[in-house]
Amino acid sequence: ARGINFARSGGVMRAVTGDDQGAKVKSISASGIKECLELLTKVSKGIEAYDFVEGMGCEGGCIGGPGTLVNTKVAARALRKTTENKGEDQFAS
């Protein structure tokens, strides 16, 4: 059920670190190529450490990718509305 949010940056991370997981998972989400590269460089050099790293090449996640047919904000709003109606929205924005 949480997979519906995978298109948004942080969606996979939130599914992995959800309240029902039972264990604390140190995680982070990066959005956009530049941010992903910066984060992966820090992790590979041991500057930062995480149990789970989500990297979305497109800014804002797949929902903001090059194949998107509508404005990213419109698509994000529609997804948020869909998940709220299903009681699954885990995003404040």
What distances in angstroms separate CA 90 from CA 1, 2, 11, 13, 46, one per listed residue?
A: 12, 9, 8, 11, 30
H helix runs in the chain, sequence order? 11-16, 33-44, 72-85
Distance CA 75, CA 19 (A): 26
Question: Block means of pLDDT (10 residues each) for the chain, length 93 residues?
Answer: 64 69 78 94 96 86 72 77 62 43
- Is pTM beyond 0.85? Reply is no
**pLDDT for res 57:** 86
**pLDDT for res 33:** 93
Q: What are the residue boundaries of the structural domains of the chain, listed by start?
A: 2-85
